[in-house]
Chain A
Amino acid sequence: AQSVTQLGSHVSVSEGALVLLRCNYSSSVPPYLFWYVQYPNQGLQLLLKYTSAATLVKGINGFEAEFKKSETSFHLTKPSAHMSDAAEYFCAVSWTQGGKLIFGQGTELSVKP
């Protein structure tokens, strides 16, 4: 079955440190890949997406992600964490254009001062 795995349900970094949130998907066929962020008691906001163009994708708030087909990965990074980055991050995949999203389990990011 198609699935998405986020390694680490909770990641804690210091302010100014590198943020790395991991996402792997289950198929060798390049899908559509997304990262969404969810702040407490809010909806899902799109951070960035990969749709078979450049493998390095830049998103909002300084985040970027790199699609690696050989590793079936789409890890999210940010060079320098900010306190406002504390939130839940979801990796999501769709295998068809306009199809349903399958979400990873989510990673809660904490940023320490």
Chain B
Amino acid sequence: AAGVIQSPRHLIKEKRETATLKCYPIPRHDTVYWYQQGPGQDPQFLISFYEKMQSDKGSIPDRFSAQQFSDYHSELNMSSLELGDSALYFCASSPPGSGGNQETQYFGPGTRLLVL
């Protein structure tokens, strides 16, 4: 079965640089979520999109922005990177409500970002 695809899988950046993380949800899933997992931490919700509109926002820094495109893929843009942004960034997707499984989020493998 198709899974959530994230690219790149690994990324190394310098402080103050920018980074773009991409997420391709499972086909026919219309909701995308982004989470940040710091070293030894639990995943923290950043932002979510439903049908290309922002549906919820968590502890996402103002330096970060995200959007969902017409093909439902999503991108997380990170600017002025700081050392503390080093983390594993997960994307998850969930199916439409009509499928009766809307509450279940399926996670991608993550993008590991290292800021030097």
Contacts and interface: CB of A to CB of B under 8 A. Distances in A.
Interface of A: 32, 34, 36, 42-46, 49, 51, 90, 94, 97-106
Which 6 pairs between the two chains have the least Cβ-Cβ distance? A103-B42, A44-B107, A100-B45, A43-B109, A32-B103, A97-B103
Interface string B65-106: 000000000000000000000000010101001000011111
A101 B102 contact: no
B109 to A, nearest CB: 4
Given A98-B31, A101-B43, 16 more contacts: A32-B103, A36-B107, A43-B108, A44-B90, A44-B107, A46-B106, A97-B103, A98-B97, A99-B56, A100-B45, A101-B45, A101-B105, A103-B44, A104-B42, A105-B42, A106-B42
B97 A102 contact: no
A45 B107 contact: yes
Contacts of B102: 97-98
B56 A103 contact: no
B8 interface: no
B33 A100 contact: yes
A43 B92 CA distance: 10
A39 B98 CA distance: 32
B64 interface: no
Contacts of A49: 103-104
Nearest to B34: A100
Contact of B103 (A36, A90, A98): A98
Contact of A51 (B43, B103, B108, B110): B103
A57 to B, nearest CB: 12
A100 B48 CA distance: 8
A51 B104 CA distance: 9
A90 B106 contact: no
Contacts of B105: 34, 101
Contacts of B50: 98
B35 to A, nearest CB: 8
Given A97-B97, A98-B97, A44 B104 contact: no
